[in-house]
């Protein structure tokens, strides 16, 4: 308890890194500028505590991006299984765009900055997402060049996500966004036939 009679939110022993990421994520989604000191304050720890896990703000942002890649992967496939049909693959695309609209600040942090190929954990997390997509394309289109088609479908989906985020396409309702994503995939399929 503090002197004002309010309980201060703190982390549990051994969960400092998670508490710092939670605090940074909340600040990011609220549009608050954050520094390691501000994140420490929000997490209820000393100003030096974040340096036990993060060398600087960039390292904290990279860890947030890794967490975001894992969350996005779970949104696409809660059980981690690749799609094995066109319909499931389109469902992945819909979930991808919904994630972007639900978590715009995190999505932008994950994809809106140049990729740091020196961060093994971030590269691995992004690679797992790419692998899920490529495996899904192999399952849904066994005769296709999986790498090329995965790139095409990711570009389409990612482009739709950022067009919505940038206000170039109206966000509308979840149903309208889903219809737009499904319509884009249907158009691409019709062109391929």
Environment class of 43 (CB within 10 Å of its CB; exposed 0-12, middle 13-18, buried 19+): buried
Are residue 20 and residue 90 in the same domain, yes or no?
Answer: no
Which residue among 54, 75, 98 closes a domain? 54
Are residue 67 and residue 161 in the same domain, yes or no?
Answer: yes
Are residue 48 and residue 134 in the same domain, yes or no?
Answer: no
Distance, CA of 147 to CA of 50 (rounded, Å): 39
Query: Closest by alpha carbon to 92, among 193, 189, 178?
Result: 178
> Which residues span the domain enclosing 24?
1-54
For residue 91, give the CATH number of its domain: 1.10.357.10
What does the pLDDT look like over 105-145, one tens digit per residue? 999 999 866 666 666 888 889 889 999 999 999 999 999 99
Are residue 88 and residue 157 in the same domain, yes or no?
Answer: yes
Indicate the range of 4-13, 84-93, 125-134, 149-158 predicted with least confidence: 4-13
- How many domains are there within the chain? 2
What does the pLDDT look like over 33-51, one tens digit per residue? 888 999 999 998 989 988 8
Helix or strand or coil: residue 130? Answer: helix
Query: Closest by alpha carbon to 159, among 73, 115, 77, 93?
Result: 93
């Amino acid at each position: 308890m503090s002197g004002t009679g309010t309980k201060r939110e703190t982390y549990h022993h051994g969960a400092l890194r998670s508490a710092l990421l939670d605090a940074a994520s909340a600040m990011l989604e609220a549009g608050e500028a954050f520094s390691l000191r501000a994140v420490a304050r929000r997490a209820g720890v000393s100003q030096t505590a974040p340096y036990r896990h993060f060398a600087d703000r960039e390292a904290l942002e990279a860890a947030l991006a890794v967490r975001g890649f894992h969350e996005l992967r779970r949104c696409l496939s809660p059980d981690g299984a690749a799609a094995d049909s066109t319909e499931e693959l389109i469902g992945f695309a819909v979930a991808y765009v919904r994630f972007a609209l639900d978590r715009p600040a995190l999505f932008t942090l994950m994809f809106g900055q140049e990729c740091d190929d020196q961060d093994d954990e971030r590269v691995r997390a992004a690679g797992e997402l790419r692998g899920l997509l490529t495996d899904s394309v192999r399952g849904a289109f066994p005769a296709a060049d999986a790498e090329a088609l995965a790139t095409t479908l990711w570009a389409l989906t990612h482009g739709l996500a950022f067009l919505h985020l940038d206000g170039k396409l109206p966000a509308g309702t979840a149903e309208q966004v889903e219809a737009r994503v499904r319509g884009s995939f249907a158009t691409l399929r019709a062109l391929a036939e």
